[in-house]
Amino acid sequence: MDDLERIVDELALEAKSYPKGSKDRLKYLTKLTNVIQQSQPSCRNYFDLPYPIYRELQDEAIQETWCLLYEQQIDRYDPNEGHILRWFRKTLGFRFCDICAKYLNIRRNKKMKALKICMLAFFKGGENLGLLLLWQIIYANLVLPKTYKIQQQSLDEPVSQNDDPSSKTLLDLIEQPETAHPRHREYEKLRKLIEQDPTGQFREAHIRNNEEANFQAIALGRIDGRSWNDLSEQWNIKVSVLSSFYQRSIQRFKQIFRDYLDI
């Protein structure tokens, strides 16, 4: 037990000795809080969240841990069973993981809902589902990670940081229900980009020992509606291998998609 743990334990025992709601208990809980805060409790960013989101969720976890300490743990505390500071750090870690899991689940559900809406619109319009799915994957990787920064801005705030009075605001960029149109142009640009392969990298990236199974061929196959099983039989490659290579390649070519699709 180090000095900090000893001090925290002593303050916890002192606070426990006074009735709930009393001035003396509040006095020692305040001292206890200050000492623990000096240790700068924090959580590892296990989920690789954007820093602003990570800090927000960590602060929420810290607040919940304080509540558990004040409302339950102080009265249950037994110095023979452990140290308050260790309990705080361990509980904080668990609460942070729970809060992150809830956040990621909510975000995942929102993505799925948006995808279902797009798919229904495509089916009604007779559009190509393979092209839609490829666009959705690219959109999710390039655009959605930026949304947190946008959420905290005013809709009237210019997107550009320069002083140009004609700069568009966030409100200008939001498609309104009455005027919104399907992303036909974007989808067509995506297909042409895959077909033309301006950098040559789509054809060069292929599964080991099979140059025909390159990213361009796989992507165009999926755009044309071919199933994974169909492509698997053509090249005698497992579906899991094809799908994994496809996803990794999209990640690898992020910058190309960003440059040529303006997203």
Q: Give the CA angle between residues 139, 144, 148 to the nearest 5°.
A: 165
pLDDT band at 132 (very low <50, low <70, confident <90, very high): low
Residue 119 and residue 190 in one domain:
no
- Containing structural domain, residue 226: 182-261
Residue 126 and residue 235 in one domain:
no
Query: What pLDDT digit, counting tens, does each position of 24-75 carry?
Result: 999 999 999 999 988 888 888 877 888 888 899 999 999 989 888 888 889 9
Residue 20 and residue 113 in one domain:
yes
Query: What pLDDT digit, counting tens, does each position of 145-182 carry?
Result: 444 333 333 334 454 445 454 555 443 443 333 333 44
Identify whether 254 is part of a domain.
Answer: yes
Identify whether 110 is part of a domain.
Answer: yes
- Beta bridge partner(s), residue 214: 206
Give the model's pLDDT for residue 228.
84
**Domain end position, chosen among 100, 116, 134:** 134
**Domain end position, chosen among 99, 134, 169:** 134
Instruction: Give CA–CA dist 145/251, Å, rounded.
Output: 13
Instruction: Give CA–CA dist 262/251, Å, rounded.
Output: 16
Domain count, the chain: 2
Give the model's pLDDT for residue 113.
63
Give the pTM.
0.44
